[in-house]
């Protein structure tokens, strides 16, 4: 009886979160600038209402009673997910939740124009307010959980992961990544690649993105594609909203952004319907979520086999039928170039981990009070030069102001990207062992076996398993960097 009461209560909360998600998408993609103040206040009020419902005094009693009831294994997993959500919510006072919602909305909205203008001085006070509140949140969660402040924030996105574990994984990557980047650079200097020349009309780029989404199985009756300052996947499983941003000089940025977000969307659209609206029916972690987007973007879309499907779509949509730059082989070579760059979302998969590790090291120091907001630009420049040989001095737009995460208060999220890349490589290797002649199937456009594997092993599981259990069950072993390293060597060093 108590479990059923909890289930009904959290379904009501999910309805409020549905509205919250759509309002957030609208704020980023459709809302006129003049509506921001009122929208921010309304969303802050909604976040408080969700918080009140999630921290209702009687929930603790219901949880205690439900733990004494006879439940199925799936219901036990559902109860554990509810308890975790309740504990995380009760850690924070209502006034902090409201203050964070207002600060994050204000900072994120202002960031859009400030980034465009490279205006660090105007951005800094807004970010400082967000960081102060994140530190307060981290302190409260750390006291309650016994974790380090940064680990307490990491737990929100990647349950069970700690900075100590990350340091081991990332140290492994940092040990071989510089050599891989250098060797790839030397190999590519010996190859000629034709760079597709724009302009590429935005409407034609949109047509290409929609064609790619269709090829990848996106359900357009439960989602849509729009434009925003920073690409994202939002909404809810029954109404998934993905966005991209267009550059008329480079069609690949938007296309790969669409494919990346489609990976997120397919995961959301295929989460277990039986548990819809409950915490156990949600994605297991952001690392697992990123594994799906990177599975689509990196493992699949940049492969030689998938390029045989993508290149004809690009030639038709962009009207480049006779353009040698759009041949299958050249587009594959272009799509697997390694290039040291400033922008994380535009980075190739070989240099991408450097971007993530840089942010992880800075945000951990920031949350734990080892550095201040004023220190970010210089530290960013120092690490960017050390990891990728690039200077961002005075270039805040392409440096520490490029991402939406910190303005939105999402500290502890960035490690999910490289964890996701590792998960994705390990998952794709497992799928390749399971599915006979997978490369040939992909080249022929038969993607159903691959999606069926994801459905069986990842999508349908929701949060019924812990992350370690999920990855071990799907791949036969816990997460490690071995498959990621092997994948990068095969694609960038051995096959070039």
Q: Is 241 helix (H, G, I), strand (E, B) or coil?
A: strand
Q: Measuring CA to CA, which residue among 446, 445, 453 is closest to residue 475?
A: 453
Which H or E run contains 223? strand 223-227
The DSSP call for residue 180 is H
* CB-count burial class (<10 Å; 0-12, 13-18, 19+) for 440: exposed
Helix, strand, coil shares of the chain, percent, nearest 5, are 70, 5, 30
| Rounded distance between C-alpha atoms, residue 436 and residue 434, angstroms | 6
Structure token pair of residue 85: 């959500």
Half-sphere exposure of 482 (CA within 13 A, CB side): 7
Other C-beta atoms lying within 10 Å of the C-beta of residue 400: 24
Number of H helices, E strands in the chain: 20, 3
Phi first, then psi, for residue 372 (nearest 5°) are: -115, 170
Q: Which two tokens stand for residue 303?
A: 């492969």
380 touches 386 (CB < 8 A): no
Q: Quote the tokens at residue 63.
A: 């949880």
Write down the catalytic residue from 155, 158, 261, 368: 261
The 3-class secondary structure across 394-406, one letter per residue, is: CCCCCCCCCCCCC
Q: Which residue has the tokens 């609208």?
A: 26
The string of DSSP codes covering 332-359 is: HHHHT-----S-GGG--TTTHHHHHHHH
Q: Which residues contact 260 (CB under 8 A, 6 or more apart)?
A: 231, 293, 294, 296, 297
Pairing assessment for the beta strands 223-227 and 239-244 based on DSSP bridges: parallel
Is 207 one of the catalytic residues?
Answer: no
Q: Where are the alpha helices (DSSP H) in 371-437?
A: 376-388, 415-434
Planar angle of CA 237, 209, 342, nearest 5 degrees: 95
Please spell the DSSP secondary structure of 435-447, one letter per residue: STTHHHHHHTT--
DSSP bridge pairs for 241: 224, 234
Q: Which residues are catalytic?
A: 261
């Amino acid at each position: 009886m108590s479990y059923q009461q909890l289930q009904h209560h959290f379904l009501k909360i999910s309805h409020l979160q549905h509205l919250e998600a759509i309002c957030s998408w609208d704020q980023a993609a459709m809302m006129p600038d003049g509506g921001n103040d009122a929208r921010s206040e309304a969303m802050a009020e909604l976040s408080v209402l969700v918080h009140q419902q999630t921290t209702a005094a009687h929930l603790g009693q219901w949880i205690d009673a439900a733990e004494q009831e006879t439940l199925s294994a799936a219901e036990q997993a559902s109860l554990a997910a509810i308890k975790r959500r309740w504990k995380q919510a009760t850690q924070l006072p209502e006034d902090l939740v409201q203050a964070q919602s207002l600060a994050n909305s204000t900072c994120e909205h202002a960031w859009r124009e400030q980034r465009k203008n490279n205006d660090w001085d105007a951005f800094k006070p807004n970010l400082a307010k967000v960081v102060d509140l994140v530190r307060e949140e981290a302190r409260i969660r750390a006291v309650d959980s016994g974790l380090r402040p940064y680990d307490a924030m990491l737990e929100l996105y990647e349950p069970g992961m700690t900075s100590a574990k990350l340091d081991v994984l990332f140290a492994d990557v940092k040990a071989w990544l510089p050599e891989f980047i250098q060797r790839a650079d030397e190999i590519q200097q010996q190859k000629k690649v034709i760079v597709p020349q724009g302009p590429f009309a935005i409407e034609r780029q949109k047509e290409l993105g929609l064609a790619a989404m269709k090829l990848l199985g996106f359900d357009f009756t439960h989602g849509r594609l729009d434009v925003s300052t920073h690409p994202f996947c939002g909404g809810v499983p029954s109404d998934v909203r993905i966005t991209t941003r267009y550059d008329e000089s480079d069609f690949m940025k938007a296309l790969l952004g669409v494919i990346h977000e489609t990976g997120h969307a397919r995961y959301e659209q295929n989460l277990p319907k039986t548990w819809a609206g409950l915490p156990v029916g949600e994605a297991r972690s952001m690392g697992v979520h990123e594994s799906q987007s990177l599975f689509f973007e990196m493992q699949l879309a940049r492969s030689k086999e998938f390029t045989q499907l993508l290149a004809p779509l690009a030639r038709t949509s962009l009207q480049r039928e006779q353009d040698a730059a759009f041949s299958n082989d050249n587009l594959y070579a272009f799509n697997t170039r390694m290039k040291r760059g400033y922008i994380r979302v535009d980075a190739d998969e070989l240099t991408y981990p450097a971007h993530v590790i840089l942010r992880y090291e800075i945000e951990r120091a920031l949350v734990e009070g080892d550095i201040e907001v004023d220190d970010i630009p210089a530290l960013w420049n120092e690490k960017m030069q050390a990891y990728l040989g690039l200077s961002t001095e005075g270039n805040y737009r392409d440096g520490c102001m490029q991402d939406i995460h910190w303005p939105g208060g999402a500290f502890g999220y960035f490690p999910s990207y490289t964890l996701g890349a590792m998960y994705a490589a390990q998952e794709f290797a497992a799928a390749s062992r399971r599915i006979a002649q997978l490369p040939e199937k992909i080249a022929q456009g038969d993607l159903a076996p691959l999606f069926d594997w994801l459905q069986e092993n990842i999508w349908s599981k929701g949060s019924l398993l812990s992350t370690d259990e999920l990855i071990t069950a799907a791949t036969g072993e816990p997460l490690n960097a071995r498959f990621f390293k092997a994948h990068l060597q095969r694609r960038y060093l051995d096959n070039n």
